[in-house]
Each structure stands twice: as structure tokens, then as C-alpha cells.
Amino acid sequence: MAYNNLRFFDSDSNDLNLLYDVDSDSWQGVVYLPVVSAGLYETLTLHILENVEGKLYNDLYSTPIANTMGEVSFKFRFNNEYGTSADIFLYTAALEAGDLQVQKELSQSESLLPSTTATSVSNGLKVIPTDPDTTPLVAQIALNSETEGFHIRPLSIMEVVDGVETREIARIKIYGEVEGEDERLRTLLTNMGMNLDDLDYFIFKDSNINEQSPDHILLNQKRKELLLQASEIKPFIGTYKALLNAIDFFGYDKITLKEYWLNINEQSENFGKLKAIAVPNQDTVGFLADKNKSSDLPNSNQKKTSRFSLVYRLNTPTGELDQWDMPTVEETMDYSPDEVLIKLYGLKNKLQKDYLPLQARILDITGEGDYFSQFNQNVWNNQHNIKTQDAGREFVPEKVPAHRNIFIEDLRMVDYRLTGPNQDFVALSPNDKLEIVDSIESFYTEYYDKNLNTFNTIPGIPIGAPLVLKIEKGLEDSWDFADFTWEDVGDEYSGKGVYNFTADFPSQNTFAYLKTLEDNGNKLLNWEDWWHRGIYEIEWKLIGPRGYNKSFRGPVYELNNFPLTLPYEGTYTVEAHAHDLYNVT
């Protein structure tokens, strides 16, 4: 069987896209290593898995399975051919005296799973009945050279059965490129009176202090940048501008340069003390940075010392508050302790040597953080009197039919006076309203007994969902519910020059008496208002689908039993508002 279902990946799980050659029964391809600096290592970890079929007929990746009986392994080795580079090699790492050391190897071997792991073949894939072992076969490849240019070396993967090489499984060309120092850039900088040596590489923020030699790729790039930025640094050496631009050139955008000022005011409590102030024209960071803006320097109290400090951040305020309303901070991990010792002290010496005037010094490198505390917390109680005032009347609005959904009907089946969605129900006479209410209530009472067949092809048929909005509880029209006394009646109607109400008037004739008063024009407080306890108007508000928004308002005796038809399918919200004589809604 062929190994045509192998898959080759790098250490980032990227497929190496090798091609299988059916004629030679082997894999072919080229793998490109990233460009590496002379003297440094670039590595590639080659992983090999096999595409198999699982017990659920699904595609899986497994440790490659042998095609023959016996102990089978893959042997990785580089071929020495004409034009190939011995600087590409197989390697392992061994611990010597507590440090990892690279050891070159002529070959590496990895064992395959036994051929009995696969029970059959389906659609060209080996079938395994159990969960696969997903440990890949691994080969470790490295490129390390002092010679600039490209390097090529073919890697062979051989099948070994019981200790004997049988055939070549894959042949992969490993291609790498080495970049060395560009001496032209060093010469150009020297001609301009500026220098950037190999040891300066370890000052850059992007450098790796664990490398065994400078990375010429980064160093060449920085020398090009310095050639372009020389006009912003070289003419201003000895000034703040050159110093700040140099710090930015080395990549330290979060470093703050502060200058020490000496207090020379003998009357001040801070006499003889130094105060660190951020150098002007620099974007400072930190919670206390704004306090520096209030310092007017130079002045008669502060003396310039030409002493500086490099300040890096330990934390950064997040802008959020904790449970005690204190600002929160998060730690910044821009520099490890080793990087502070190597990079920042290297930067200090570089600035001191090449960019500061002779009398100026950088005294220290300081880690600065923002920390918050709360010293005083005042607590007091504000007491407010709370009074409850009851106004208006409680009532219960209802709809007919209650506790069920309603449907859009042919309104001719309900009442002949119903004309459809645009009908003005407020304009109907009180008698028509009551009759339509009776028609709607009887329609739903006899709903299941009626023949509801209609002809929906006839134009102009009035349709809608009929219902009745009413207030049964809270506005009952009975004398006891009105909660009025005979004296109330006397206060309202006596002294008008026509009538004088007495307490001896029989209660059963009260309605006739009050109606007589109304008919003679005395309507400030009439019978209808009395038994509704001052409520004189009802307002219904309906909000529904398709922008339906209607409001109906009128006297209580006309709208407390109000017929209506709804035009659209959907859900409606109904509100009932009662307005009384005391301007309470």
C-alpha cells in the first residue's frame, strides 16, 4: 500500500502543501524557511500525520500506520548533493551545565503504528476501529550559517522495515536565506558622524537579549531608519529634541524622560529637595502627569540641575472603578527584570555618550506606578418626609368578549350600523351606541349558533373585529355608590332663587327632582356627575399594529359602555383614563 494519505505540517499547524507523485509513489515539495540573520538559528519542526477513517465513518488524523508487517519507522536524513548547504541540518537540544545546547544529527527516526492498527480500507483511507493515537512523527530542522545568501538542502524520508531501508517516502527541498550585515549602511552613518555598533542591537526594544549574536535584519533596518531620521537628531545633539527623538528611535515610546529641579527657596518646606518634572514637548503617561502642567518652569524657586531620569511604567489605570469606587489599574509587562538591566541601562549609557551635553547626566532608571487610596469618607443621612395622597377613583375597565381572542368579522353579521375601520363611534348617538353594544354582546353570545358564511368577493364589505369597552366596577350608577348626602344637594341647588331642597324629600323621587333642576339650566353638578362621584369624562386609548393609535374621549354616560371595531390583525394595548372635577386623571 502507498502512503498517499500522509499530511505534513509545520510547528504552527500550517499545511506544507506537498504533492504526491503517483509514478514514484512518494511526496515531493519545497519548504521555505523565514529569512534569518547570519549567526542565528531558524528552525522548522516537521510534523507528519495520516488521514484515516474512524469507526463512525468520519475523517480523522492519526499517527502514520505501517503498510507492512514488522517494525516500521521513518528515517529522516539530509542528502549531500552538489550545490547543497551543510548549514541546514537535523538537530536536538541537550542540557549541558544547566543550559540547552544545540547538537547536530545525521539522521532521526520515528516509529509508525503497527499495520494491524487498521482493519480495512474504505475509499482509499485506512479504517481504524478505535480512537486514534494523534502523536505526529517529528523531525527538527535548523538553519545556521555565517554565509549570506540562499541555502538549499534536500531532506529524504525513508521507510525502514526491521532495520532495512526499503524505499523513499518523501523528498523535500528545504530552502533558507541568510542575511548579514550591510556594511554600506555602517559606512554612511560613520561619514555623517553617527554610529550604530553591533552591541547597540541589544538596546533596541524589539531586540532579543537571549540571542547569541546581533540580528542583522533588525540592525540593518534600524541603520536605514537612522539615516532617514538623522536630520531630526544630529543637528540638535545636546538639546531636548535630540534626546527625545533618540529615545523614540530605539523604540521606547512608553518611556518618560524627567528632569530634576532643585528647590532653592529657603522659606519653602521643600527647600533643598529635588522635584522630577517631565521634559517639555513630550506625551507623558500616568495619573500624575497633569500635575506637571501646573509647574511654571524655570522660576525663582526652582533651579535647573541638568540631571535626568528614565521612567518606565509599572501599571496603567484602566478607567474603571472597583467596589469601593477606587480607580483600578492593570500591571504592564513591557520589561522583564533582565531587560531593565540590559536594555534600559544600555539605553542610558548610549544617550549619555552620544546625545547629552557634557555636564548633563542620567542619574537613575525608575519604575513608576499609580496607586490609589481613600483617606476621608464622609457619611450623612438626608431624611425626607414622605406623604401619601389618594386622589381619583379606582375602577376596573373590561372588554366584551372577555378572556378570549377576537377575530375580524363581516360586520353585517353584527349590526347594520357598523361601517368598518374608519367609523366615527364618538359621533354616534347615545341610543345607537347602546343598541350597537347590545348587538355586539348578543353576537358573541350566539356566536357558535350562527351561520357565519359570507361572500368575501363582494367589494365594500365592512369588516373589523367588534368589541365593547366598558367600566362595570367602580362607576356604578346607584344612589348608595354616589356617596353624597342631602346637604350636598342643598349646598349646590339652594339659594338659586327658584328651588329649596329639604331632607324630607323622598329618596325614590330624587332623580325626578334633580332632572327638573337640570332642565331649568342648573347643570354645574348634575345627577350623572353625582353617581360617578365627580368623574365626568372617560378616555379610551388604543395602540396597535401598523401604527394604529386612537383616542376616544367623552362623557361618562356615553363612553363607559363604548362599542368599537379593530381594523388589523395583531395585539392591542388599551388604556382607560378617568377625568374628575378636581383635575385628577
pLDDT at 514 (0 to 100): 53
CA-CA-CA-CA dihedral for 56, 61, 62, 68, to nearest 10 = 90
pLDDT at 108 (0 to 100): 94
Start-end of H helices in 333-478: 337-339, 345-354, 430-445
pLDDT at 1 (0 to 100): 61
Query: pLDDT of 172-219, one tens digit each?
Result: 999 999 999 999 999 999 998 888 888 888 999 888 888 878 999 999
For residue 60, give the C-alpha cell. 480523522
Beta strands in 84-232 (DSSP E): 88-96, 99-105, 107-111, 120-122, 125-127, 137-144, 149-161, 164-179
State how far the alpha carbon of 584 is from the alpha carbons of 389, 519, 537, 552, 553, in Å.
12, 28, 11, 18, 15
Largest CA distance in the chain: 136
* Closest to 170 (Cα-Cα) out of 17, 392, 342, 11: 17
Q: Which pTM does this prediction carry?
A: 0.56
d(C-alpha 256, C-alpha 309), whole Å: 8
DSSP 3-state of 502: coil
pLDDT at 209 (0 to 100): 87
Cβ 150 vs Cβ 160: under 8 Å: no
d(C-alpha 522, C-alpha 520), whole Å: 6
Strands 549-555 and 535-543, by their bridges, are antiparallel
DSSP label at residue 340: I
- Number of Cβ within a 10 Å radius of residue 276: 17
Cβ 540 vs Cβ 551: under 8 Å: yes
Cβ 489 vs Cβ 501: under 8 Å: yes
d(C-alpha 559, C-alpha 550), whole Å: 14
d(C-alpha 103, C-alpha 99), whole Å: 12
Find where cell 550585515 sits.
181
pLDDT at 482 (0 to 100): 60
Please list the ranges in the chain whose pLDDT falls under 50.
284-289, 291, 491-509, 522-524
Find where cell 360586520 sits.
411
550 membership: H or E segment, kind and range: strand 549-555
Please name every residue paired with 563 in a beta bridge, in sequence order, or none if there are none. Answer: 468
* Closest to 233 (Cα-Cα) out of 192, 272, 190, 266: 192
Please name every residue paired with 45 in a beta bridge, in sequence order, or none if there are none. Answer: 140
d(C-alpha 198, C-alpha 179), whole Å: 15
**What is the phi/psi pair of residue 393, to 5°?**
-130, 140
Angle, helices 216-233 vs 183-191, to 10°: value is 20
Please name every residue paired with 313 in a beta bridge, in sequence order, or none if there are none. Answer: 368
Query: pLDDT of 30-77, one tens digit each?
Result: 999 999 999 999 999 999 999 999 888 888 999 999 999 999 999 999
Cβ 418 vs Cβ 435: under 8 Å: no
